[in-house]
Amino acid sequence: MAVGKNKRLTKGGKKGAKKKIVDPFSKKDWYDVKAPAMFNIRNIGKTLVTRTQGTRIASDGLKGRVFEVSLADLQNDEVAFRKFKLVTEDVQGKNCLTNFHGMDLTRDKMCSMVKKWQHFAKKEAAVSIFFRGFCVVSFSSSWCSATIGEQQDGAAGCLRGTALYSFTSDCEEELSLQVGDIVTNLESVDGEWFLGDLRGKRALVPKNYLQVLD
């Protein structure tokens, strides 16, 4: 009987033997992402890229990458509804130098803006018989010497209102309200907003959240 070679032994093991597990991060490097000098916080994070191998250069894989960062993180601020897009334009050492690539608003902010407009449209259609379509207004001569016509135009200092609902402002230009707050020195800015004073701050407040007092 002829003796032949055992193919399984020559290949070095049984069929289906486990392959050596290679760590996928062993061939990659971390690079720091640097924001432009106009921002207070420049070090905004890290990004991963495959190391330079032969003609494949790591920096080429980094250029053109776009990062989306909240303005609150860039400026160490609390106003977080603005998002900046930064694109990598150059690589120096382990640093990715970025430049401005665009700006966007968060979904929550855009939804709140749409809701405000929808709320305004519904109020205008439903209760248009009331003053400016938002509130029931009564005037008294004890508040100021202006005529009723002048008061309806929103003369500053002649009107005050009480908050019907709670309202959380999205930015510094708006007042935050709690139910029952009294906003003084109301001045009509447009069909949707008053300018008024509350707790030492003068800013915008939505008309449909106030009931104007006599």
Exposure of 188 in the CB half-sphere (CA atoms within 13 A)? 16
204-214 CB burial, b ≥16 within 10 A, e <16 = bbbbbbbebbe
112-213: CATH superfamily: SH3 Domains (2.30.30.40)
pTM, to two decimals: 0.44
Tokens of 138: 């009564």
- The identity of residue 128, as a single letter, is S
User: Can you tell me the mean pLDDT for 130-157?
Assistant: 42
Lowest-confidence pick of 16-30, 56-70, 191-205: 16-30
Residue, of 141 and 99, whose pLDDT is higher: 99
Give yes or no for residue 128 having a pLDDT over 60. Answer: no
Binning pLDDT at 50, 70 and 90, where does residue 9 land? low
Structure confidence at residue 137 (pLDDT): 45
Residue, of 122 and 99, whose pLDDT is higher: 99
Residues 6+ apart with CB under 8 A from 44: 33, 34, 35, 67, 69, 73, 74, 86
> How do the domains of the chain map onto residue ranges?
23-105, 112-213
Q: What percent of the chain has pLDDT over 70?
A: 71
Exposure of 194 in the CB half-sphere (CA atoms within 13 A)? 33
Do the Cβ atoms of 163 and 179 come closer than 8 Å? yes
- The identity of residue 75, as a single letter, is Q
Q: What is the pLDDT of residues 38-89, one digit of tens each?
A: 888 899 889 988 888 888 888 888 898 999 998 888 888 877 888 889 999 9
Structure confidence at residue 32 (pLDDT): 92
User: Can you tell me the mean pLDDT for 6-11?
Assistant: 58
Q: What are residue 50's phi and psi, to 5 degrees?
A: -70, 140
